[in-house]
């Protein structure tokens, strides 16, 4: 029996439906740390969150502005392209829809480019960006995000591979055509559905 088969069998023994685990993934209780580059040194007094691109008006919020917005809690499974899955992760933050409802997007805006420190970006269709459980998280398991997990704010879109859930987020840009972000330019799939194993270029 392979490692992955044993891992699925262990889930069944724990009373967890193995169907929650996408193909090619294994379950872990840990929360591995993976990112490109160094952890940014964030000064909240200088931090801002900018929305631009195909919007009627470029908008920017300070940290105090953002954390004054209404928050929600989300419990979701997360799936990393490096093949680990963590069940029932708990996030608190600002729903993406909460921010969206404060902007005036162009009818041509069909994709979102999420922007973060160090020039990191990721692309998402608007529909996925606005999914019911998508939020700009400030807390994990009731505690502020750790720096290596995206402090002070990260996007969480749990139904896609977790590289799309950008750490250290600083805003987003609306565009008409899909554009590859950082990892997408470096071989990762443009969409990233874990249950279809859309990990890399050429995966269907």
Q: Look at residue 111 in the predicted model and tell me its pLDDT.
A: 98
Residue 10 has pLDDT above 90, yes or no: no
Q: Supply the DSSP symbol for 158.
A: T
Q: Look at residue 64 in the predicted model and tell me its pLDDT.
A: 97
* pLDDT, tens only, 169-200: 999 999 999 999 999 999 999 999 999 999 99
Tokens of 155: 């996007």
102 domain residue, yes or no: yes
Range of the domain at 56: 37-75+87-196
Q: Look at residue 15 in the predicted model and tell me its pLDDT.
A: 83
User: Which three-class secondary structure state does DSSP give residue 58?
Assistant: coil
202 domain residue, yes or no: no
Q: Look at residue 67 in the predicted model and tell me its pLDDT.
A: 95
26 domain residue, yes or no: no
Mean pLDDT of 4-15: 83
Q: Look at residue 12 in the predicted model and tell me its pLDDT.
A: 81
161 domain residue, yes or no: yes
Q: Look at residue 1 in the predicted model and tell me its pLDDT.
A: 65
* pLDDT, tens only, 54-66: 999 999 999 999 9
Tokens of 129: 């960006």
Q: Supply the DSSP symbol for 120.
A: -
Beta-carbon neighbour count of residue 14 at 10 Å?
Answer: 10
Question: At 168, which CATH number?
Answer: 3.90.420.10
Residue 148 has pLDDT above 90, yes or no: yes
How many whole angstroms separate alpha carbon 104 and alpha carbon 55? 5
| Main-chain dihedrals φ then ψ at residue 23, nearest 5 degrees | -55, 140
138 domain residue, yes or no: yes
> How many domains does the chain contain in total?
1
* pLDDT, tens only, 68-90: 999 999 999 999 999 999 999 99
Phi-psi region of 150 (alpha: psi -120 to 50; beta: other; left: phi over 0): left
Q: Look at residue 131 in the predicted model and tell me its pLDDT.
A: 98
Q: Look at residue 4 in the predicted model and tell me its pLDDT.
A: 81
Q: Which residue has the tokens 């997007």?
A: 105
In the chain, the N- to C-terminal Cα span, in Å, equals 28
Q: Look at residue 129 in the predicted model and tell me its pLDDT.
A: 98
How many whole angstroms separate alpha carbon 131 and alpha carbon 157? 8
Q: Which of 175, 180, 143 is nearest to 163 (CA)?
A: 180
């Amino acid at each position: 029996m392979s490692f992955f088969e044993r891992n699925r069998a262990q889930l069944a023994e724990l009373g967890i439906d193995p169907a929650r685990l996408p193909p090619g993934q294994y379950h872990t209780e840990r929360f591995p740390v993976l990112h490109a580059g160094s952890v940014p040194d964030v000064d909240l007094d200088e931090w801002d969150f900018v929305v631009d691109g195909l919007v009627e008006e470029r908008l920017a919020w300070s940290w105090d502005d953002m954390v004054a917005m209404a928050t929600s809690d989300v419990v979701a499974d997360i799936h990393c392209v490096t093949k680990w899955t963590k069940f029932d992760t708990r996030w608190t933050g600002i729903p993406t829809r909460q921010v969206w409802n404060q902007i005036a997007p162009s009818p041509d805006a069909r994709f979102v480019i999420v922007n973060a420190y160090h020039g990191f970006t990721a692309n998402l269709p608007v529909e996925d960006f606005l999914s019911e459980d998508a939020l700009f998280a400030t807390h994990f398991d009731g505690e502020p995000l750790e720096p290596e997990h995206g402090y002070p704010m990260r996007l969480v879109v749990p139904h896609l591979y977790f590289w799309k859930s950008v750490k250290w987020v600083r805003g987003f840009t609306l565009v008409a055509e899909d554009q590859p972000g950082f990892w997408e330019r470096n071989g990762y799939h443009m969409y990233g559905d874990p249950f279809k194993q859309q990990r890399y270029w050429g995966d269907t």
